Structure 1
Amino acid sequence: MAKLIGYARVSTRQQSTDRQQADLLAAGVRRDDLYIDHGVSGARASRPQFDRALEALIEGDTLVITTLDRLGRSTQNMLAFADELRARGAGLRVLNLGGGDVDTKTPMGSMLFTIMAALAQMEHEIKRERVIDSVSKRREAGKHLGGRPRRITDSQIRNAIRLVEGGEPAAQVARDLGMSRATFYRRSQALKG
């Protein structure tokens, strides 16, 4: 008997799959046929629950995902994956794609999937270009790029350098500052240079 195998994924642990799960369950996927990856990028080749979902697929079954980007990033990979499913006698159903479902078991669904996969990759590449452009403009303007704020000030590093020059072991001074010896040396060199 053909089954619907659902797959949901979020890229970070802080994100929730609640909406994806609700959509998949509403589409007819049984809760015990639902596979969920938390904190796993779509760009990764290996996704533990995705791999389990594929193992569960047999001929006649359909893999159900909410949106195309849950599957992957590149058009080539998505199309190869759809071909692999077709060769296994399984289908792919994408919910929420342009207001309706796309089922690769049908010729029209297969064509729409190909077009949407190309558009998804293009959208991903445009976003990437925007981020790179934004970072380079902020860097040129001397603006903060984010990241973790420094806990240890340059003044504290200078005082620590004096302690090391006065005979204190560098490893102990770094430990007292709450940083690794390598970080202490790197910050010291940056101040001296």
Structure 2
Amino acid sequence: MSKLIGYARVSTRQQSTDRQEADILAAGVRRDDLYIDHGVSGTKATRPHFDRALDALEDGDTIVITTLDRLGRSTQNMLDFAKELRGRGAGLRVLNLGGGDVDTATPMGSMLFTIMAALGQMESEIKRERVVDSIAKRRAAGKDLGGRPRIITDSQIRNARRLIEGGEATAQVALDLGMSRATFYRRARALGLLPDQSDGETLTSDNAK
């Protein structure tokens, strides 16, 4: 008998999958069939519980996710995943796309999945370009104002946090902002983006990316 297999993921252990879990369970997935990766970047080729979810798939089953980016950060990652689904005779349901099934075994479904994967990667890259461009312009503006300290806005801190969740190295993102990692951590905690704990225990370590 076919069944629904749920998968949820967050990039850092400080994040919560509660909302993803609630949406997936509401879609009909049993708790025993829900697999969750904590602190695993979407850029990683191997994700322990994602691999277990794939192993659990049988012919006719459907994997359920909340958003397409839970599967990976690149079009190639997602196309490889689609090929894996076809090989297992399984389907895909993406809840933020209306909850409809994407049958990657059919030409139409495969084409739709390819388009979604490409758009997802493009959106991520555009977001990163905007953040980097904004940081560069503010850095230039700071120099033009006689070297006065630049004011890093709360919005920039939030955008930088998203880049780190997407797999960017914390040290590099902090450098682009013109601040130390410790300063970035303090600003992020002040905005409620991180729990109140020592700097060395926050976010995903650079070596883990």
Match of 1:149 among 183, 197, 201: 183
Secondary structure in 2 matching 1:58: coil
Give the alignment of 1:23-34 within 5 angstroms. Answer: 23-34=23-34
Does residue 1:89 correspond to 2:95, yes or no? no
Give the alignment of 1:114-133 within 5 angstroms. Answer: 114-133=114-133
Task: Determine the structure 2 residue equivalent to 1:68.
Answer: 68
Task: Determine the structure 1 residue equivalent to 2:7.
Answer: 7
Count of aligned pairs between the two proteins: 149
Distance 2:108 2:95 in 1: 15
Q: 1:120-143 deviations in whole A, cap 9, x for unaligned? A: 111011011112212322333253
Task: Determine the structure 2 residue equivalent to 1:103.
Answer: 102
More RCO (CA 8 Å, sep 6+): 2
Runs of 4+ residues deviating >6 angstroms: none
Q: 2:36–2:49: 8 Å Cα contact kept in structure 1? A: yes
1:87 CA drift (Å): 1.5
* RMSD of Structure 2 on Structure 1 (CA): 2.0
Higher strand share: 1
Query: Which letter maps to 1:68?
Result: L
Distance 1:122 1:55 in 2: 29
TM-score w.r.t. length of structure 2 = 0.64
1:102 CA drift (Å): 3.5
Q: 1:9–1:36: 8 Å Cα contact kept in structure 2? A: yes
Distance 2:102 2:30 in 1: 18
Gaps of 5+ in 1: 151-193
Distance 1:85 1:46 in 2: 16
Query: Which letter maps to 1:126?
Result: I
Q: Larger deviation: 32-41 or 126-135?
A: 126-135
Which of the two has higher C-alpha Rg? 1
Distance 2:94 2:183 in 1: 41
Q: 1:102–1:113: 8 Å Cα contact kept in structure 2? A: no
Distance 1:149 1:61 in 2: 47
TM-score w.r.t. length of structure 1 = 0.69
Pair 1:9–1:59, CA change in 2 (3 A) = same
Query: Which letter maps to 2:102?
Result: D
Provide the identity percentage: 77
1:29 CA drift (Å): 0.8
Query: Which letter maps to 2:182?
Result: R
Distance 2:111 2:121 in 1: 16
Distance 2:23 2:121 in 1: 23
Gaps of 5+ in 2: 144-149, 153-176, 185-209
